């Protein structure tokens, strides 16, 4: 063999040997990155660093280095941060009045998603990432999970240059940050349709600022859209808003999660584990909570109160009125009591906003700061949203939102619900101390949401109703077992009751739930290892109603409904109506007589009707009601138990007397004749019809029919007969039918027509109770009872001398004919 060929053969052999050896080992990250950068450098469009990042560049170093060169913005992305998990939060920084109907404000989050930056050939790609489905990388099925959960690409960037030391990539983000990227936009599809948005106007859109910090990037974009019907400033034909984009680097190792238990109330995140041995994708649910770790773990183990390494800190919005700041701080820090039960001191702190000298970078939109936002809006509400790591449930930031007009709602409710027994409430000029106490408790409630706690509507039924008339009891325990219930005021207390607490406060459940979710368990090295201890804590309190949880969803559990207090809803609503009947005649004197104006009187009277309606609605839930007790198979008893028959019949009798009789006490001439020319009768009709339709809803009747197999001696036919006889009682007594009752009886026939003749989907219920009307007893019951009613009406019509009553009866007879024979109508 010639020497030249021998040399070539030897070189090929060495090359093949090296290739074979290297392929038997995984390439190191550094060698892969080096190769990647070498390939990138060979791209024809990639320039030298100095050609892109010129001497005129304004540079801001942080998680990514940001360069501003002229009117262009560049990100310099370290190679080490490719394929790292980031959380991207899009918020409104500024927005026009009325956008979103008043419930959207500066600081509102419009989207949060996990993203990662990847390199593909000569591009850097920004992709969304999800942890909804996962499997450990060591398992073969992880390949299928990735293949069947391929995530969208949000944007692809050309690599403009390599970093000076070739340790990263420079990309131009100008077009990206000035484009209408749907994943980060403040205008969702519904808004675009409502306001007839045609496009983003590039000439009036720009990057306001871009700042980089050690763990996050904050960008503000000023966008103007062409819109034919904007929510305000309609003459401009446009919508301008400022968006804040926060990109937060998540820790490499997620916080150890805590497994959710539906018997305790926490917001949660859900994941499907395809690596499970359960012969299916096993759903894992983890609670959302802040990461609190004791500074001194040994002292914590000894039972001493220990400060956390990183406490939860809330800053007040610089826009907050000075006189309200102390109450807001107290509302935040009131949770320190509950965290002490979990072994932490100073776990949650409220601070004034820093001055420009103290922190020049402070911004309420910056995801590093949790802020109590004070919003200049006529909306009457408050909210407690938070942002969490979707991998573990760790809450990393939250903004409590307080709308300026919200205290007016509390002033009004305070007057209406407690005014009979509480002299301090009988005025429009509520003392600032009382308003401050209300605000403090609302802030505490909203911070509770931001700590991971949902509403617990079951808690208000934990206390015996008459205990709410005890000063000693209410001062110690409040009016519900948790601040997370919608139990705002003590409307049960009566005139003459002494030393009553009228406003809600933290309760025993709050201490229990914070301990359950936040107590640090140093011996447990996995989420699964914590479960025996967590179960033990729940079962220790299982028979005490003060520690029960119920979301209030479903509308079927009378012990778990909004705005109720006390264990006995009939007794509580009776007390509430008794108080309301004392407030109604005084309303004029407490408002218009003091202000020489009818605006407050009109507003409060409308709300008084709403309060009356709420008390009625609480009792409605007893009829066809099912009590839910959250438990596991290891516990004794049933989860669902129907309300006893006697309690259901008593409830319907109460409704016939208090909801469906003529409510003459509500008709205050000095009110109705000064606020509207003709609206009172229609308002009453509307409210009565609402509760009547609720009683005669398919889902409630389905639950009543279920009683037949649950040994409850009260079914749908019993309810309809009792209701029909009560609503049409004049037919049996021969008495005159007044205008309220005529309206109610017509509403009854309309509802029966609906139940008998309307086409319904198979699952006809807002609450999900399944019922197929055509194949259920509902239509049989409706038809049979209408036939009986028509007979009674025909028999009774000649007994009426009053023309209007007789005409009404004749009309009802014809209406029933048309309902029973719709093809003839």
The string of pLDDT tens digits covering residues 710-767 is 889 999 999 999 999 999 999 988 888 999 999 999 999 999 999 999 876 545 444 4
Q: Which two tokens stand for residue 54?
A: 């010129």
**Using CA atoms, how far apart are residues 588 and 668, in angstroms rounded to an integer?**
9
**What number of other Cβ atoms are within 10 A of residue 604's Cβ?**
23
**What number of other Cβ atoms are within 10 A of residue 413's Cβ?**
20
Determine contact, residues 114/390, Cβ cutoff 8 Å. Answer: yes
Nearest CA-CA partner of 462 in 485, 440, 443, 441: 485
**168-172 and 153-162 as β-strands: parallel, antiparallel, unpaired?**
antiparallel
In the chain, the number of structural domains is 2
Q: Which two tokens stand for residue 751?
A: 């509802």
Nearest CA-CA partner of 421 in 218, 257, 581: 581
At CA 644, angle to CA 638 and CA 645, rounded to 5?
140
Do 149 and 128 lie in a common domain?
Answer: yes
Do 11 and 73 lie in a common domain?
Answer: no
Nearest CA-CA partner of 342 in 315, 304, 298: 304
Do 25 and 129 lie in a common domain?
Answer: no
Assigned domain for 226 exists? yes
Going from the C-alpha of 319 to that of each of 110, 332, 369, 806, the distances in angstroms are: 22, 17, 15, 64
Assigned domain for 8 exists? yes
**Using CA atoms, how far apart are residues 195 and 493, in angstroms rounded to an integer?**
48
Determine contact, residues 782/720, Cβ cutoff 8 Å. Answer: yes
Do 90 and 123 lie in a common domain?
Answer: yes
pLDDT < 70 stretches in the chain: 1-44, 102-103, 132-139, 141-150, 273-282, 376-379, 381, 383, 760-768, 824-825
User: What pLDDT does 378 receive?
Assistant: 65
**Using CA atoms, how far apart are residues 41 and 330, in angstroms rounded to an integer?**
58
DSSP output for 131-159 = -SEE--TTSTHHHHHHHTSPPPEEEEEEE
CA 105 to chain centre: 16
At CA 458, angle to CA 454 and CA 460, rounded to 5?
105
Do 110 and 216 lie in a common domain?
Answer: yes
**Using CA atoms, how far apart are residues 57 and 69, in angstroms rounded to an integer?**
5
Range of the domain at 167: 43-249
Phi-psi region of 102 (alpha: psi -120 to 50; beta: other; left: phi over 0): left
User: What pLDDT does 85 receive?
Assistant: 94
Under 8 Å CB-to-CB from 8, ≥6 apart: which residues?
none
Assigned domain for 686 exists? no
Coil, strand or helix: which one is 804?
Answer: helix
* Boundary of a domain, candidates 226, 249, 272: 249
User: What pLDDT does 20 receive?
Assistant: 36
Assigned domain for 70 exists? yes
Nearest CA-CA partner of 408 in 435, 447, 375: 435
Residue 733, classified by CB atoms within 10 Å of its CB into exposed (0-12), middle (13-18) or buried (19+), is: exposed
Going 294 to 298 to 303 to 304, the CA torsion angle's sign is negative
Assigned domain for 228 exists? yes
Under 8 Å CB-to-CB from 46, ≥6 apart: which residues?
40, 122, 159, 160, 161, 162
User: What pLDDT does 31 receive?
Assistant: 44
Do 72 and 3 lie in a common domain?
Answer: no
**Using CA atoms, how far apart are residues 556 and 625, in angstroms rounded to an integer?**
5
**72-78 and 168-172 as β-strands: parallel, antiparallel, unpaired?**
antiparallel
Do 6 and 118 lie in a common domain?
Answer: no
Nearest CA-CA partner of 127 in 164, 93, 153: 153
Determine contact, residues 772/765, Cβ cutoff 8 Å. Answer: no
Do 22 and 91 lie in a common domain?
Answer: no
User: What pLDDT does 120 receive?
Assistant: 92
**Using CA atoms, how far apart are residues 69 and 172, in angstroms rounded to an integer?**
10
Under DSSP, the state recorded for 244 is E
Q: Which two tokens stand for residue 545?
A: 């109603």
* Boundary of a domain, candidates 249, 281, 312: 249
**Using CA atoms, how far apart are residues 282 and 259, in angstroms rounded to an integer?**
13
- pTM for this one? 0.87
The structure tokens 């290891």 sit at 634
The structure tokens 């776990």 sit at 347
Q: Which two tokens stand for residue 22?
A: 């290297």
Going from the C-alpha of 740 to that of each of 103, 733, 744, 805, the distances in angstroms are: 36, 17, 6, 12
**Using CA atoms, how far apart are residues 695 and 704, in angstroms rounded to an integer?**
11
Do 230 and 88 lie in a common domain?
Answer: yes
Nearest CA-CA partner of 650 in 625, 673, 675, 672: 625
Backbone angles phi, psi at 33, to 5 degrees: -65, -40
The structure tokens 């309690």 sit at 647
Alpha helices, H only, 113-267 = 141-147, 174-177, 189-194
CA contacts within 13 A on the Cβ side of 412: 19
Do 2 and 136 lie in a common domain?
Answer: no
| Cα-only R_g, the chain | 33
DSSP output for 8-40 = HHHHHHHHHHHHHHHHTSPPPHHHHHHHHHHHH
**Using CA atoms, how far apart are residues 814 and 761, in angstroms rounded to an integer?**
29
Determine contact, residues 457/551, Cβ cutoff 8 Å. Answer: yes
Beta bridge partners of 641: 627
Backbone angles phi, psi at 311, to 5 degrees: -70, 165
**Using CA atoms, how far apart are residues 621 and 695, in angstroms rounded to an integer?**
8
Coil, strand or helix: which one is 488?
Answer: coil
User: What pLDDT does 146 receive?
Assistant: 65
Do 177 and 103 lie in a common domain?
Answer: yes
The 8 Å CB, 24+ separation contacts for 363-366 are 363/218, 363/244, 364/106, 364/107, 364/315, 364/317, 364/318, 364/399, 365/91, 365/93, 365/107, 365/218, 365/220, 365/244, 365/246, 366/213, 366/216, 366/218, 366/246
Assigned domain for 89 exists? yes
Assigned domain for 724 exists? no
What is the C-alpha end-to-end distance of the chain, expressed in Å? 109
User: What pLDDT does 10 receive?
Assistant: 36
Do 5 and 151 lie in a common domain?
Answer: no
E strands present in 228-360 = 238-249, 268-273, 282-287, 312-316, 348-351
User: What pLDDT does 12 receive?
Assistant: 35
**What number of other Cβ atoms are within 10 A of residue 637's Cβ?**
9
- Cα-Cα-Cα-Cα torsion 667, 670, 675, 679, nearest 10 degrees, comes to 20
**Using CA atoms, how far apart are residues 505 and 523, in angstroms rounded to an integer?**
34
Nearest CA-CA partner of 786 in 760, 821, 758: 821
Percent of the chain at pLDDT exceeding 90: 67
Under DSSP, the state recorded for 162 is E
Assigned domain for 493 exists? no
Under DSSP, the state recorded for 571 is H
Nearest CA-CA partner of 517 in 276, 133, 314, 255: 255
User: What pLDDT does 395 receive?
Assistant: 95
């Amino acid at each position: 063999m010639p020497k030249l060929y021998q040399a070539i053969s030897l070189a090929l052999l060495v090359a093949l040997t090296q290739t074979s050896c290297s392929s038997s080992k995984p390439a190191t990250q550094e060698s892969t990155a080096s190769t990647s950068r070498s390939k990138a450098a060979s791209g024809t469009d990639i320039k030298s660093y100095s050609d892109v990042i010129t001497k005129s560049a304004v540079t801001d170093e942080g998680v990514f280095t940001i360069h501003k060169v002229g009117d262009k913005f560049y990100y310099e992305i370290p190679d080490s941060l490719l394929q790292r998990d980031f959380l991207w939060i899009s918020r409104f920084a500024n927005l026009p009045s009325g956008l979103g109907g008043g419930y959207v404000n500066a600081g509102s989050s419009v989207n949060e998603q996990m993203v990662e930056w990847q390199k593909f050939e000569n591009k850097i790609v920004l992709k969304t990432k999800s942890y909804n489905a996962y499997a450990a990388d060591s398992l073969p099925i992880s390949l299928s999970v990735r293949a069947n959960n391929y995530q969208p690409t949000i944007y692809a960037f050309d690599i403009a240059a390599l970093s000076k030391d070739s340790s990263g990539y420079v990309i131009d983000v100008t077009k990206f940050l000035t484009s209408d990227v749907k994943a980060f936009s403040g205008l969702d599809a519904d808004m675009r349709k409502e306001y007839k948005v045609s496009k983003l106007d590039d000439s009036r859109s720009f990057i306001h600022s871009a700042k980089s910090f050690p763990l996050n990037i904050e960008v503000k974009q000023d966008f103007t859209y062409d819109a034919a019907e904007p929510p305000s400033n309609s003459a401009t034909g446009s919508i301008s808003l400022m968006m804040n984009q926060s990109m937060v680097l998540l820790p490499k190792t997620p916080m150890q999660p805590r497994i959710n238990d539906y018997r305790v109330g926490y917001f949660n995140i859900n994941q499907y584990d395809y690596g499970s041995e359960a012969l299916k994708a096993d759903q894992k649910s983890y609670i959302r909570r802040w990461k609190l770790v004791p500074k001194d773990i040994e002292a914590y183990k000894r039972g001493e109160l220990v400060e956390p390494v990183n406490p939860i800190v809330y800053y007040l919005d610089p826009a907050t009125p000075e006189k309200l700041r102390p109450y807001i701080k107290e509302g935040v820090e009131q949770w320190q009591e509950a965290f002490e039960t979990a072994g932490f001191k100073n776990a949650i702190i409220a601070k004034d906003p820093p001055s420009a000298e103290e922190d020049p970078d402070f911004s309420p939109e910056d995801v590093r700061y949790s802020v109590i936002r004070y919003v200049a809006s006529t909306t009457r509400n408050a909210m407690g949203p938070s942002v969490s790591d979707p991998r573990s449930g760790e809450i990393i930031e939250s903004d409590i939102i307080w709308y300026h007009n919200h205290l007016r709602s509390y002033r009004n409710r305070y007057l209406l619900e407690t005014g009979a027994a509480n002299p301090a409430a009988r005025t429009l000029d509520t003392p600032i101390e009382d308003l401050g106490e209300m605000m403090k408790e609302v802030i505490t409630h909203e911070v509770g949401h931001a700590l991971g706690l949902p509403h617990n509507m079951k808690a208000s039924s934990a206390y015996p109703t008459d205990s709410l008339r005890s000063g000693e009891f209410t001062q110690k325990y409040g009016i519900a077992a948790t601040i997370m219930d919608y139990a705002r005021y003590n409307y049960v207390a009566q005139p003459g009751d002494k030393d009553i607490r009228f406003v809600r406060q933290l309760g025993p459940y709050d201490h229990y739930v914070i301990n359950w979710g936040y107590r640090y368990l140093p011996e447990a090295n996995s989420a699964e290892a914590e479960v025996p201890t967590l179960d033990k804590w729940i079962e220790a309190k299982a028979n005490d109603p003060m520690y029960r949880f119920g979301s209030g969803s479903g509308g079927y559990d009378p012990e778990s409904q909004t705005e109720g207090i006390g264990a006995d809803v009939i007794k509580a609503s009776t007390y509430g109506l008794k108080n309301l009947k004392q407030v109604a005649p005084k309303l004029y004197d407490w408002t218009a007589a003091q202000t020489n104006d009818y605006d407050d009187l009109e507003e409060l009277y409308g709300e008084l009707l709403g309060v009356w309606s709420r008390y009625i609605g609480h009792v409605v839930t007893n009829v066809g009601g099912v009590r839910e007790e959250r438990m596991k198979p290891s516990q004794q008893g049933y989860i669902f138990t129907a309300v006893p028959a006697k309690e259901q019949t008593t409830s319907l009798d109460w409704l016939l007397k208090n909801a469906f009789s003529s409510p003459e006490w509500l008709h205050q001439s000095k009110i109705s004749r000064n606020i509207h020319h003709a609206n009172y009768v229609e308002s009453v009709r509307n409210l009565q019809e609402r509760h009547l339709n609720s009683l005669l809803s398919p889902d409630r009747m389905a639950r009543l029919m279920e009683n037949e197999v649950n040994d409850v001696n009260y079914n749908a036919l019993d309810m309809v007969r009792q209701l029909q006889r009560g609503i049409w009682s004049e037919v049996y007594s021969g008495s005159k039918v007044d205008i309220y009752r005529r309206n109610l009886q017509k509403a009854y026939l309309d509802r029966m027509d609906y139940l008998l003749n309307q086409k319904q989907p198979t699952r006809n219920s807002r609450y999900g109770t399944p019922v197929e009307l055509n194949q259920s007893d509902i239509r049989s019951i409706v038809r049979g009872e209408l036939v009986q009613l028509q007979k009674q009406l025909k028999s009774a019509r000649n007994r009426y001398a009053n023309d209007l009553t007789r005409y009404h009866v004749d009309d009802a007879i014809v209406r029933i004919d048309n309902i029973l024979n719709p093809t003839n109508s």
